[in-house]
Amino acid sequence: MYTLLIINPRAGPAQSERKRKELLELVSNTPDILPRFTDHPGQAEQLAAWACDQGFERIIAAGGDGTINEVINGIGSKKIPVGIIPLGTGNVLAHELRIPINHVARALEIIEHGRIKEIDVGYAGSRRFLLMAGLGFDAAVVDDVLPKMKDLLGKTAYVPAVVRKLFTYTPSRFRIAAAGCEEVYETIAYAVVIANCGTYAGSLRISDEAVMDDGLLDVIIFEASMGGTAQFVGALLKTLLQIKTGKQSVTHFKCTRVRIDSDPPVKMQLDGTVSGWSGMEITVEPRGVRLIVP
């Protein structure tokens, strides 16, 4: 099968370089796989679009969630299958799909012998996402992490960014209008996450109800309360650890379309990359992407 292998050489911590070399060795004797490296942000998207135009039958994304996001934006409405070699920092999609994180040969084996799964794709305006759109606190954290720190520390690079934002971040007034709801929901919140999958980071889950092929988005609102930052941290931890006891300051509902406005405007991250601001309509296309899974 004529395949374009898109490799992001900057994805993941420093030890990912060894895995990239292993990957190139494994495909070196496979003439129907063409490797191409990216050298700037956005190039994976350009290469994926080029692959569709040139008649490639399959694309393999070797990188992190940001690389995969670029690829699914590059293919657009084309239903070309996409395989995943997880070489990023968080590898959230690989965790969700149970693709091995630290085993390049096993990931390649899945691509060659696995099955194709059609999953939903979200849209923030015209920009596609597979995992989530996050507005507010989590986008501010993502924006605060320097790429060099991610290269050096991996996932732990997010810890100091979280701590800094806990002391400085101020909640915003959100106006949330969802399809099928007669009333507009207004609240003061630290963050709003529109999830297409349940996994948030590693083995932590933001929702056990969110699945990638139900044709719905899960909207999770972390509301501000009299308890301030401490209560927000507690609500976030309870959600990620799936603890149901005690008073909840988290609102959760499902929809197919939602518009998120805020005052003041807040940044938005898509699949772990900052990509715009609030004031965006977010929708879902059922089964709009074909991924190769175990």
Phi first, then psi, for residue 211 (nearest 5°) are -130, 160
Q: Are residues 273 and 172 in the same domain?
A: yes
Residue 153 has a pLDDT of 58
**Does a structural domain hold residue 232?**
yes
In this structure, the answer to whether residues 81 and 157 fall within a common structural domain is no
- Assess whether 265 and 145 both reside in one domain: yes
CATH number of the domain at 15, please. 3.40.50.10330
154-198 per-position pLDDT tens digit: 667 677 777 777 778 889 999 999 987 667 889 999 899 999 998
Q: Are residues 274 and 139 in the same domain?
A: yes
Helix axes 158-168, 137-144, angle to 10 degrees: 130
Q: Does one domain contain both 98 and 155?
A: no
Within-domain flag for 124: no
Q: Taking the CA atoms of 135, 42, 158 and 209 in sequence, report the sign of the dihedral they define.
A: positive
- Evaluate whether 189 touches 236 at the Cβ level (below 8 Å): no
pLDDT at residue 229 in the model: 67
Please tell me whether residues 273 and 158 are part of one structural domain: yes
Containing structural domain, residue 236: 129-286
Tokens of 32: 């129907």
Same domain assignment for residues 207 and 71: no
More confident residue, 243 or 190: 190
CA 224, CA 242: separation in Å to the nearest integer? 19
Going by pLDDT thresholds of 50, 70 and 90, the confidence category of residue 106 is: very high
Whether 123 is in a domain gets the answer no
Q: Are 77 and 155 members of one domain?
A: no
Q: Of 87, 110, 88, 115, whose CA–CA distance to 99 is shortest? A: 110
Is the domain of 149 the same as that of 275?
yes
Final residue belonging to a domain, choices 72, 87, 113: 113
Instruction: Give me the amino acid identity at 260.
Output: I
Q: What pTM did the predictor assign?
A: 0.89
H-assigned helices in 99-221: 104-113, 137-144, 147-153, 158-168
> What b/e readout covers 12-29, taking b as 16+ CB neighbours within 10 angstroms?
bbeebeebbeebeebbee
Residue 246 has pLDDT above 70, yes or no: no
Give the residue from 113, 145, 160 where a domain finishes.
113
What band does 201 get if pLDDT is binned at 50, 70 and 90? confident
Note whether 72 and 164 are same-domain residues: no
Residue 294 in domain: no
Under a CB-based contact definition with an 8 Å cutoff, are residues 161 and 145 in contact? Answer: yes
| 117: pLDDT strictly greater than 80 | yes
**What's the rounded Cα separation, in Å, for the pair 138 and 153?**
19
Q: Are residues 102 and 133 in the same domain?
A: no
Flag whether 276 is in a domain.
yes
- 195 in a structural domain: yes
**pLDDT above 90 for 72:** yes
pLDDT, greater one: 69 or 90: 69
Mean pLDDT of 106-115: 95
Task: Look at residues 241, 276, 287 and name the one whose alpha carbon lies nearest to residue 72.
Answer: 287
- Give the H/E segment covering residue 67: helix 65-75
Contact 132, 271 (CB under 8 A): yes
**Structural domains of the chain, count:** 2
Last residue of a domain, one of 46, 80, 113: 113
**What is the Cα–Cα distance from 202 to 131, expressed in whole angstroms?**
13
Taking residues 272-281, report their average pLDDT. Answer: 93
Q: Is 135 inside a domain boundary?
A: yes
Please indicate, yes or no, whether residues 135 and 269 belong to a single structural domain of this protein.
Answer: yes
The encoded tokens of residue 237 equal: 């931890």
Average of per-residue pLDDT across 194-206? 85
Q: Within a domain: residue 95?
A: yes
Q: What is the CATH number of the domain that holds 162?
A: 2.60.200.40
